[in-house]
A and B are shown apart, each in its own frame.
Chain A
Amino acid sequence: DQQVKQNSPSLSVQEGRISILNCDYTNSMFDYFLWYKKYPAEGPTFLISISSIKDKNEDGRFTVFLNKSAKHLSLHIVPSQPGDSAVYFCAASSENTDKLIFGTGTRLQVFP
């Protein structure tokens, strides 16, 4: 049972435009959500997070939006840069668990 889903395996965006990565979850107990970026041959790097008591969190070019009623979150990258090309993982956690539950990832390619 896939509790965290990233339905788009890949996304291609032109440099300077907006990248929108989507994530859906099924477990209503999740209360914290994170985005990680992963380059080849490296471990995932923490990017940005959001608590379920918020609906938006912003950090520079990165903004995460949370829609609890739809059990959906998205990561917006504006403007996109070639260095943003990587695999992006959405992850979720809850207060009564010790683990992060990851989606399958979306490969973002930013082209000039």
Chain B
Amino acid sequence: AQKITQTQPGMFVQEKEAVTLDCTYDTSDQSYGLFWYKQPSSGEMIFLIYQGSYDEQNATEGRYSLNFQKARKSANLVISASQLGDSAMYFCAMREFPLNFGNEKLTFGTGTRLTIIP
């Protein structure tokens, strides 16, 4: 079963509008972290925002905020006032508490390609 699901393969949004990128996750752990990464056309992975499973407040970083709904197991990324430079692939990822203090891997979704229209 997929642990991270991003149901929007692609989105087109008008510049200056807000955009929500969906992410749902599946875990039986109580402790986990959720991450969003941006991948521009140049290919690098840019960390955007983090939300911990025990965090009571939704995370915010500048124009990025994470709409965390624990009971629904969703962690949607909200970008306010979108800009042309926001056009990129966006990945949601989860880190679960490592078993036996071992692997700290990130499990990624399949990504959403966001295109901002002028």
Same complex: no
**Measuring CB to CB, which residues of chain A are less than 8 angstroms from any residue of chain B?**
none
